[in-house]
Amino acid sequence: MTTEAWEPGAFRARIDAVLHRFVAEEADLLVDVDPALGPVAAQLEAAVAQGKRLRAAFCYWGWRDGGQPDSEALLRAAASMELVHAAAVVHDDLIDASPLRHGRPTAHRALRAAVPDHPRADAAARSLAMLVGDLLMSLAGQLFVTSGLPAAYLARARPLWAALARDLVAGECLEILRTGAAPDTAASLKVVRYKTAKYTVEQPLLIGGTLAGAAPRLREGYSAYGLPLGEAFQLRDDLLGLFGDPARTGKANADDLRGRRPTALLAETWRLADPVQRGRLTALLDAGEGAGARDGAGGRPGGDEGLDEVRALMRGLRAPERVEAMIAARVDEALGALDGLDAPPAAVAALTSLAHSASARLH
| Tens digits of residue pLDDT in 14-27 | 999 999 999 999 99
CA trace torsion 344, 346, 352, 354 (10° rounding): -130
Of the chain, the percentage scoring pLDDT greater than 90 comes to 75
Model confidence at 258: pLDDT above 80: no
pLDDT over threshold 50, residue 298: no
The predicted structure's pLDDT at residue 299: 46
| pLDDT-based confidence at residue 6 (cuts at 50, 70, 90) | confident
CATH fold of 8-359: Farnesyl Diphosphate Synthase (1.10.600)
> Per residue, what are the HEC states of the chain?
CCCCCCCHHHHHHHHHHHHHHHHHHHHHHHHHHCHHHHHHHHHHHHHCCCCCCHHHHHHHHHHHHCCCCCCHHHHHHHHHHHHHHHHHHHHHHHHHCCCEECCEECHHHHHHHHCCCCCCHHHHHHHHHHHHHHHHHHHHHHHHHCCCCCHHHHHHHHHHHHHHHHHHHHHHHHHHHHCCCCCCHHHHHHHHHHHHHHHHHHHHHHHHHHHHCCCHHHHHHHHHHHHHHHHHHHHHHHHHHHHCCHHHHCCCCCHHHHCCCCCHHHHHHHHHCCHHHHHHHHHHHHHHHHHHHHHCCCCCCCHHHHHHHHHHHHHHCCHHHHHHHHHHHHHHHHHHHHHCCCCCHHHHHHHHHHHHHHHCCCC
Q: Where are the domains of the chain?
A: 8-359
pLDDT at residue 21 in the model: 97
Tell me, what's the pLDDT at 180?
86
pLDDT tens for each residue of 320-344:
999 999 999 999 999 999 988 888 8
Average pLDDT, the chain: 90
pLDDT of residue 59: 97
Q: What is the pLDDT of residue 101?
A: 85
Decide if 229 contacts 356 (C-beta within 8 A).
Answer: no
pLDDT band at 244 (very low <50, low <70, confident <90, very high): confident
pLDDT, position 287: 80
Backbone phi, psi, residue 118, to 5°: -70, 135
Between 307 and 69, whose confidence is greater?
69
**CA–CA distance, 199 with 150 (Å, rounded to integer):** 23
Q: Which of the two residues, 5 and 41, has the higher pLDDT score?
A: 41
